[in-house]
Amino acid sequence: MSKVLRAGPPTYGHWRLLVQFLAFAAGLLAALAAPASARALRLVVLGDSLTAGFGVPPGKAFPDQLEAALRARGWHVDVVNAGVSGDTTEDGLARYEWAVPADADALIVELGANDMLRGLPPDETRQALMAIIEKAKAKRLPTLIAGMRAAPNLGAEYDRAFDAIYPALAEAEGAILYPFFLEGVAGDATLNQPDGLHPTAAGVAVVTNRILPYVEDLLRRANS
């Protein structure tokens, strides 16, 4: 007569295997449900010495302080320092292709101070900045324009023409405008290096704190 085999009660080994399987399944489901891109947002700052960090200690340049401030506010972001001291807007345009990587998610353009200091025609500055913004738009790269203002010794006509470049471009190109990059710092000897042109690390901190809400708006655009 055949013998019917009946399963006994689950043993400890069975329970352990079941728990391991459930843990594996939960991990797999979590991985499948995760966002397609879990990497940090890559924010590139294309600029001149004000971006490069002329005269400030390592780790205290604008991109460094901006990254730290954003991360402190919960942003998973890497800020790329694409600043070169002495660059004009035309120089920034010339190196755009290799300075702004293909995997960039957002762009800050901080250029124009050297154009102004050299007295270059405002229309040339405007055209170069527009070309940079157009390149970013072609890649669907949200852009923030950090504005600059002309020094008063260049004359009222030059001042009007130069100062009008940034708001006009931002409006025409749909970019975010931060009206004056050195707001709260320019003219304050306690926040500038002896040359009167470049902020100290403390001055960069002021710039960072003031521009931060605009940059967060930029990153929201990148996320959307």
Q: Domain locations in the chain?
A: 42-223
Q: Which entry of 48, 49, 87, 105 is annotated as an active-site residue?
A: 49
What are 120-133's pLDDT values in tens digits? 999 999 999 999 99
Q: Is 198 a catalytic residue?
A: yes
Q: Which CATH class is domain 42-223?
A: alpha beta
Q: Is 195 a catalytic residue?
A: yes
Helix, strand or coil for residue 86?
coil
Q: Taking 60 as the threshold, does the pLDDT of residue 31 lie above it? A: no
- pLDDT > 90 in the chain, percent: 82
Residues 6+ apart with CB under 8 A from 72: none
What are 143-187's pLDDT values in tens digits? 999 999 999 999 999 999 999 999 999 999 999 999 999 999 999
The pTM (predicted TM-score) of the whole model is 0.83
Structure tokens at 216: 């967060």
Q: Which entry of 2, 37, 103, 195 is annotated as an active-site residue?
A: 195
Q: Taking 70 as the threshold, does the pLDDT of residue 194 lie above it? A: yes
**Residue written as token pair 């002021």:** 206
Amino acid at 210: R
